Amino acid sequence: MNRSLYLFLILEEASFSWHTIQHNRIQFQEESVAVPKAKDNPCTYADYAAWPEGERWELIEGVPYDMSPAPKRRHQDVLLNLARVVSNITDKEPCETYIAPFDVRLSEKADASDEEVITVVQPDLSVFCKPDRLDDRGAHAAPDLAVEVLSESTGYKDQTAKLSLYEKYGVREYWLVNGEVPWIMVYRLGPEGKYGKPDYYQPGEKIRSEVLESAIETDRVFT
């Protein structure tokens, strides 16, 4: 093949992938933000723990995000497929896999009290390779790997606020999964503690995971 034509086709494919990502990001620009009661101060984990059972919330820097309604069937199918694959890997390693609902409490203070914690998230799937980050209530520090399967009500937040949050608290790998299109983006924490440009995976490809020390076929996620 002519070298100029070859380079042109590579650039066209890269451009298509980037615009596909951007197009799907626009589709998720809906956020559900609700505060259960008026407060002058940020909400805390102590407040969160006192809210009615059966309701699903996340706290990001003291702001409550309503996690209802329940995800669609396709979301759950993709999540369960991924959970099976990942848990089969972590069962053979010192890591542990959890799926939502599972509280992950994040704070810059190592021994923060419930009244001091203002960020509590529920990743769709999380992997912890350090047992001392876990307790009976969930986790009190960041996972090594976090996965969010995008949905209409939470997709924009997952790609913006949570991206910044997971970077801030040192989540080594952050996967964004779109079960409808489908595609998977993987952010990896660099040596300076920042996420670089994400890797983009489509059906028929393999995801390289440093946390899992394995390669996962995307077709096993999207079947």
Residue-wise pLDDT for 22-32, tens only, equals 444 444 444 44
pLDDT over 90, % of the chain: 73
Q: Are 207 and 85 in contact (CB under 8 A)?
A: no
Q: Would you state the pLDDT for residue 142?
A: 98
Cα–Cα distance measured from residue 43 to residue 59, given in angstroms and rounded to the nearest whole number: 8
pLDDT over 70, % of the chain: 82
- Quickly tell me which residue has 């650039």 as its tokens: 11
Q: Are strands 145-149 and 206-209 parallel, antiparallel or unpaired?
A: unpaired
Determine which of 2-11, 95-104, 170-179 has the lowest per-residue pLDDT on average.
2-11
- Band of residue 39 on the pLDDT scale cut at 50, 70, 90: low
Q: Please name the amino acid found at residue 97.
A: T
Task: Kindly state the average pLDDT of the residues 2-21.
Answer: 43
Q: Would you state the pLDDT for residue 165?
A: 97
- Band of residue 44 on the pLDDT scale cut at 50, 70, 90: very high
Residue 102, C-beta contacts closer than 8 angstroms, at least 6 positions apart: 122, 123, 126, 138, 139
Q: Are 145 and 173 in contact (CB under 8 A)?
A: yes
- Band of residue 201 on the pLDDT scale cut at 50, 70, 90: very high
Q: Would you state the pLDDT for residue 35?
A: 42
Residue 54 has pLDDT above 50, yes or no: yes
